[in-house]
Amino acid sequence: MKDDRFSRTPGLVLRSVQYKEASRILTVLTPEHGKITVTANSAVRKNSKVAPVVQQFAYSDMLLSVSKGMYYLTEGAVIEQFSGLSGELSSVALACYLAQLTESIADEDSVTTDPLRIMLNALFALSEGLYSHAVIKSATELRLIAAAGFMPETACCVRCGSVEVTAFSAELGGGLCGECAVRTADAAALSGSALGAMRHVLSCGLKKLYSFPPDAAEELAPLAENYVLTKCERGFSTLDYYKSL
Ligand SMILES: [Zn+2]
């Protein structure tokens, strides 16, 4: 018989906040429960076995006890720590922003695993230093915001349906033809290579998410960021910090 007082799940720590002296309140992304809040009592006390599990960006196999709808960390074993991240401040800062973005778009009790898989992909790429920040940031932002239900229209002009797309509007949520771009206040130029990169990022398998030209990413980066901020209708302190570096 399934014991409902306990739940075993993989989980990625998006945020870890100190609570009392040696405890932590975690925001954890899981495949089965979506985004959950987990209390980790005495987690960083001396000789604690779960101390590595409560670190931000740790991806672990967690045993949670469930009481009155609250989750408590009972045991845990780290699956992946992304230790390569610690070497470079700007990579950590970008990971913090992507984690905050993921936290803001992920739903509680949602069964979709997309945000978790996208974020694990990003942490691996940042940790290994495999791609430029512009590539990782723009592709992760676009894929996350699409997973949240804001898939931009890239096949045709959002205003008239023309297949000639030469600009992008964050407000209207997609591409624009030259004629409609002139009549759109927030239209930003979009080259053929940046449009191709955007289409690739929004449709490819996650393993190929970052496989597009870095020069297209340089152009895509401000568009993707502006699109995310427009659709989220908020700013991110972690993004401000990343950009200040
Ligand atoms: Zn048009």
CATH code, residues 88-244: 1.20.1440.120
52 pLDDT higher than 50: yes
pLDDT-derived band at 87 (thresholds 50, 70, 90) equals: confident
160 beta partners: none
Please give the distance, rounded to the nearest whole angstrom, from the Cα atom of residue 165 to the centre of ligand 1.
8
CA atoms within 13 A on the CB side of 234: 8
CATH number (2.40.50.140, 3.40.50.12280, 1.10.4010.10, 1.10.260.40) of 6-81 reads: 2.40.50.140
What is the whole-number distance in angstroms between the Cα of residue 146 and the centre of ligand 1? 22
CA of 139 to the centre of ligand 1 (A): 25
Cα(159) to ligand 1 centroid in Å equals: 5
pLDDT at 3 over 60: no
Give the CA diameter of the chain.
66
| Cα of 186 from ligand 1 centre, angstroms | 14
Location of structure tokens 């030469």:
166
Say what percent of the chain tops pLDDT 90.
Answer: 88
**pLDDT over threshold 50, residue 137:** yes
Give 53-86 pLDDT, tens digit per residue.
999 999 999 999 999 889 999 999 999 999 999 8
Our measurement of the distance from residue 192's CA atom to the centroid of its chain's CA atoms, rounded to an integer in Å, reads: 26
Q: Residue 155 Cα, ligand 1 centroid: separation in angstroms? A: 12
167 alpha carbon – ligand 1 mean position (Å): 10
Q: What is the pLDDT of residue 1?
A: 42
CA–CA distance, 28 with 57 (Å, rounded to integer): 9
Alpha carbon of 40 to ligand 1 centroid (Å): 53
Domain boundaries, the chain: 6-81, 88-244
Residue 182 CA to ligand 1 centre (angstroms): 10
Residue 235 has pLDDT above 90, yes or no: yes
Q: What does the mean pLDDT of the chain come to?
A: 94
If we measure between CA atoms, which residue out of 35, 55, 194, 214 comes closest to residue 132? Answer: 214
C-alpha of residue 153 to centroid of ligand 1, in Å: 12
The model's pLDDT over 194-233, given as tens digits with 9 standing for 90+, comes to: 999 999 999 999 999 999 999 999 999 999 999 999 999 9
Mean pLDDT of 110-134: 91
Centroid of ligand 1 to alpha carbon of 205 (angstroms): 29
